Structure 1
């Protein structure tokens, strides 16, 4: 497929307001993608690699602007591109505003054509753009920046305005065409699974299958969603759906060494859990970092350790790797929490975990300073058997049989009072609270449903001023999101000054997000790519779990897990909370 055809269709999607129409456009594109199907799917989502792949392009806005400037000609430099970006506000539109193609020299060939790539004057193809961007990702060490710049320059130099518009967004993972993961999922189903669902064997109530939100075989989108949960690869799933249909998708399972998204919890109460499930499995909620463990000793895989964001953190956690090697002798995929402890085994603050979690240097020295302990709480795969659909009670039993000393302690209770007693004990031991889990629930990767609930003590709220935001992605591309929130820090020349304390991206419904975005739009001061500076005018109420000292913000503090609670219609900016109040809260006053 020519890249121009992809770019034209992507722009058409961007200009299509209705979600259902967009699904149809994506489905048509996928149906005609041929051998480029997997790449086309990833490009639509602003990716070169699958979500489980830790490789990245490592291209920042400055490098992208430099490549655009070089392709635009000798009379254009990076500062000119930056000035135009300030005027236009979006990097794709900036790239499309230049006429490329006039540059000559080796760089204009995008690295030559020894690998079968098309040359100058020939149209760019999806396959070539993919190869070039993978080459960018592979560049490292001395001269890597020049290599990246040469490749990008060569691609831009052969792009017409629509191609340049989409290419600039792709390399920065900022597609903003109204196509999110849900749209692609539905489009895969529409393009390749529109035939009637096949007959399936009935399963009676005695099955050892969890009763969480498993795929409905009569709904093509649910079949696709299930395959996405176990592969974490939209391109692969699209190819499976096209080539092998429902059968191929159903047969796809977990793969050791390929991380999946973590199952997540909603906030809830003890009464909620008992009312919804009749009984609840209660576990201590630790103040640590999520970790997913992959190990297949006979196959020589691992142990490999992945963060909640699926980053490989194996090298930073040698004691966890050693524990798994010593205690586990069958292939497994485990879910758990890594907690920092003192010399007496008492839990330390979450910040101590972060000192270790992504460290690449001085790992052994830091290991002596900060001890980490694993608390495993789920088993997704064991000894050749995928356990995602098994009820939680069975998965936990399997976990305990392998790691009895490092498995979470679980009590199944039938009344709220028992939950509250366990919670009180967890809090007295210095932990965050408790997790409540439906004993019959399956494990649903990436889902934040009502099968897991987190119980923690009530927290303070702050009334904060919105001073910045970012444009959303996918179906939220036309709305502001990820709001920077600030406290009043003082006055300068008669005007209030503000210092940020965090970014809020959770707690808003789609309707609230649109309403807040509409309220903030008149106060936008400037834009730089997706980043937006906002004049202080709107106060929102923000909940949080903890105030941490942080060098990231000028205030010196950061809110941990901030969430949107509502707009303070009754408050103006002078009524917002101050830095001095934040300091009093940290001091416990």
Structure 2
């Protein structure tokens, strides 16, 4: 398969807002791919090569200035092989060898292919092939049930491997995926609830738990071997030795736990979220200790529990890690649930989670079986651009352009702006980060790659023609940046418009 075929499909997907049309275009391409091309083609269309980020910056590629090839000759396999050589290039003189390899690759590419590779290698490929669309396309191309593809993806965590299994091995290959100790699962997600009473009425018998202002973790233990992952499936084991040691003391041989971790002050109240996240980027531990609070058990001593109801998973959690379970009440009355919400807020946490006791663990999906109840309205939005400040903010990028995720896989849709809630320290930090992600600028505004997620507190939303999303945020202010989340974790435009008065 030629790279030009992938580039043409990417352009077609980017040009349409129809989820059905995106799915059909992607499925048609995947169905034509040779068995050894499926993984690379899926990765390219998903916006990241199989090798991940290769440390190749915008400036490096901009300096190449290689004339494009007149006709397309590059194959998907050849590009994948070249990127693998780039990934492994190291040692003395490797920087020049990498430049030479890039120049050779771009010299064999047409103008359209050069543009595609530029955006692929810099993380700016936003043609709209989001995970949900790709899952549907893989199912259509392989004629496998969508749910079978979705489950295999949940267990593998990798779309290219899922696509290869579906298209080469069919439904039986998809069914062969199992929970594997040491391989992270995509986390189950929650939807916002209008109120605690509404959540309980919808869910029926439920577990009501503290919603902590911490960072999501997934902990795997197999004997003495322990791995800890973030919500984006990044491994942080070396940075959290206290969690590793705790895992080894649990009364079991193997376990997979889902939970939160956070740093506490001397009074037992949560420290700022950024302090917890600072540990995840550290090369080794330092004095700030992290405390784990687990709320789910996905595997225990050889038994996979993903399909078991939450009630059974909580029983396993109590047997293995009761001392580290998140504060919770099982099937409380409305009065008991309200009291737990008050306790959570008084302790400095965000609110509570209500979870249906009969629900399985639906990894990677934001369904209604888990609902979060917080007194303040918040949204996780993507930063699209920022305007230069005035007065004491002169020299800093201040007013944020905020985007919601397109549920059909297109680029984020702008829904508002805010410059409120920014401390001097945050202004300096975001100015550095934005300039490192700059894609273009005009007289007042710097446009950035849509990858930084910021948590916004707001009074609500209102209909407005001012922004492409058709809504505007009311009294929005920055709460914090979310380095634990990527753009795919941001709230969708549908979730934003659901906050309009009368939309319930």
User: TM-score under structure 1 normalisation?
Assistant: 0.67
1:504 corresponds in structure 2 to: 402
Correspondent of 1:318 among 222, 229, 241: 241
Correspondent of 2:110 among 140, 146, 160: 160
1:66 corresponds in structure 2 to: 63
1:223 and 2:100 are equivalent in the alignment: no
Supply the RMSD in Å over aligned alpha carbons: 4.0
1:293 corresponds in structure 2 to: 219
Q: How does 1:8-27 map to 2 (within 5 A)?
A: 8-15=8-15, 18-27=18-27
Partners of 2:410 and 2:96 in 1: how far apart?
44
Partners of 1:164 and 1:31 in 2: how far apart?
25
Partners of 1:46 and 1:402 in 2: how far apart?
40
1:130 and 2:95 are equivalent in the alignment: no
Assess if the C-alpha contact under 8 Å between 1:484 and 1:500 holds in 2.
no
Partners of 1:156 and 1:571 in 2: how far apart?
41
Q: 1:162 to 1:512 in 2, by over 3 A?
A: closer
1:282 to partner: Cα distance? 1.2
Partners of 1:277 and 1:578 in 2: how far apart?
32
Give the 3-state SS of the residue equivalent to 1:342 in structure 2: coil
Assess if the C-alpha contact under 8 Å between 1:3 and 1:125 holds in 2.
yes
Give the 3-state SS of the residue equivalent to 2:369 in structure 1: strand
1:28 and 2:28 are equivalent in the alignment: yes
1:284 and 2:249 are equivalent in the alignment: no
Assess if the C-alpha contact under 8 Å between 1:542 and 1:562 holds in 2.
no
1:294 to partner: Cα distance? 1.8
Q: C-alpha deviations, 1:384-407, integer Å up to 9, x for none? A: 222111111111211121112112
Q: 1:424 to 1:39 in 2, by over 3 A?
A: same
Assess if the C-alpha contact under 8 Å between 2:152 and 2:177 holds in 1.
yes
Give the 3-state SS of the residue equivalent to 1:405 in structure 2: helix
Q: 1:143 to 1:344 in 2, by over 3 A?
A: farther
Single out whichever of 38-47 and 430-439 deviates more from structure 2: 430-439
2:6 corresponds in structure 1 to: 6
Partners of 2:335 and 2:312 in 1: how far apart?
25
Give the 3-state SS of the residue equivalent to 1:148 in structure 2: helix
1:183 and 2:108 are equivalent in the alignment: no
1:511 to partner: Cα distance? 13
Assess if the C-alpha contact under 8 Å between 2:226 and 2:244 holds in 1.
yes
Q: 1:547 to 1:410 in 2, by over 3 A?
A: farther
Assess if the C-alpha contact under 8 Å between 1:459 and 1:543 holds in 2.
no
2:365 corresponds in structure 1 to: 447
Assess if the C-alpha contact under 8 Å between 2:162 and 2:174 holds in 1.
yes
1:357 to partner: Cα distance? 2.1
Q: How does 1:372-521 map to 2 (within 5 A)?
A: 372-458=290-376, 482-484=383-385, 489-490=390-391, 499-500=397-398, 504-506=402-404, 516=414
Q: C-alpha deviations, 1:152-195, integer Å up to 9, x for none? A: 1110011123332322222223333343323322221122126x
1:509 to partner: Cα distance? 7.3
Correspondent of 2:282 among 359, 363, 372: 359
User: TM-score under structure 2 normalisation?
Assistant: 0.77
Assess if the C-alpha contact under 8 Å between 1:41 and 1:234 holds in 2.
yes
List runs of 5+ in structure 1 lacking aligned partners: 73-98, 102-120, 195-219, 462-468, 470-480, 518-538, 584-589
Give the 3-state SS of the residue equivalent to 1:430 in structure 2: coil
Q: 1:21 to 1:354 in 2, by over 3 A?
A: closer
Correspondent of 2:198 among 272, 275, 290: 272
1:304 and 2:222 are equivalent in the alignment: no
1:232 and 2:127 are equivalent in the alignment: no
Assess if the C-alpha contact under 8 Å between 1:30 and 1:188 holds in 2.
yes
Assess if the C-alpha contact under 8 Å between 1:287 and 1:431 holds in 2.
yes
Q: C-alpha deviations, 1:274-294, integer Å up to 9, x for none? A: 210223211112221111112
Q: How does 1:332-343 map to 2 (within 5 A)?
A: 332-343=255-266
Partners of 2:365 and 2:106 in 1: how far apart?
39
1:383 to partner: Cα distance? 2.2
1:295 to partner: Cα distance? 1.9
Partners of 2:371 and 2:378 in 1: how far apart?
20
Partners of 2:412 and 2:151 in 1: how far apart?
30
Q: C-alpha deviations, 1:108-156, integer Å up to 9, x for none? A: xxxxxxxxxxxxx994322221122123233456644333322211100
Assess if the C-alpha contact under 8 Å between 1:340 and 1:348 holds in 2.
yes
List runs of 5+ in structure 2 lacking aligned partners: 434-451, 468-472, 480-504
1:562 and 2:456 are equivalent in the alignment: yes
Assess if the C-alpha contact under 8 Å between 1:282 and 1:436 holds in 2.
yes
Single out whichever of 412-421 and 36-45 deviates more from structure 2: 412-421
Partners of 2:307 and 2:4 in 1: how far apart?
43
1:169 and 2:95 are equivalent in the alignment: no
Partners of 1:453 and 1:438 in 2: how far apart?
9
Q: 1:549 to 1:405 in 2, by over 3 A?
A: farther
Assess if the C-alpha contact under 8 Å between 2:389 and 2:399 holds in 1.
no
Give the 3-state SS of the residue equivalent to 1:150 in structure 2: helix
1:353 to partner: Cα distance? 0.9
